Amino acid sequence: MEFVKEFATFLHKNGIIKFGDFTLASGKKSSYYVDLRLVPSYPHEFRKMVKYLENDIAQKIGLDEFDSIVSVPTGGLVIASALAMETVKPLIYVRSKPKDYGTSKSVEGLIHDGMKAIMIDDVATTGGSVVNAIKSLKEVNISITDAYVIVNRMEGADEALYEQGVKMHSILNILQITEALHGQNLVDQSILDKVKAQIGK
């Protein structure tokens, strides 16, 4: 749990997680905003995060249990690229919509029939983008049984992926982050209460 506390503090101190009133891309209101696209600008913390992710996958799934690493642009793709280099695994990515020129593919990378891949993304809210990607992968006969995110916003992604036969793992969730910050007096009780209310806890 030491990593969770350290990483939560890093996110907060560098404005990667902010608390207040925000409108998300979906139009939904949120009591916080987390933008992990800033993490690679801090190479030491970024590398630490990727190594932690690699170790977690090695322990829970096993690095020999899948052929490739797959992600969706753009947030997750930077993390997946770094992880692919660390694990020496091929990288595949799924476009949100197929190219309207060239080969018109929605899945990019070296694919073979019956390939097993692990999905990587940065943040999961409802899981919509990952579910769409999984459907595209199934169309080209790539099997996915596990997906990893850095931060789980705890707003339905686990259930949405479960319906696709995929187990979602996260390095941390929003409740762990807020509780770690609250425990260090970096956020007050009202912020913790708002986050709990948002996730229905």
The residue-averaged pLDDT of 142-161 equals 94
Q: Determine the pLDDT at residue 103.
A: 58
Q: How confident is the model at residue 100 (pLDDT cuts 50, 70, 90)?
A: low
Q: Determine the pLDDT at residue 55.
A: 97
User: Can you tell me which residue has the tokens 């990667």?
Assistant: 16
Q: Determine the pLDDT at residue 31.
A: 94
Q: Report CA torsion sign: 108, 111, 114, 115.
A: negative
Q: For residue range 7-35, list pLDDT tens digits in order.
A: 999 999 999 999 999 988 778 889 999 99
Please choose, from the candidates 147, 98, 122, the residue with its C-alpha nearest in 3D space to the C-alpha of residue 36: 122
Please report the beta strands in 51-98, taking only residues with DSSP state E, as ranges in sequence order. 68-71, 91-94
Please, what are the domains in the chain?
2-199 (3.40.50.2020)
Please choose, from the candidates 92, 87, 96, 50, the residue with its C-alpha nearest in 3D space to the C-alpha of residue 71: 92
Q: For residue range 45-91, list pLDDT tens digits in order.
A: 999 999 999 999 999 999 999 999 999 888 899 999 999 999 999 99
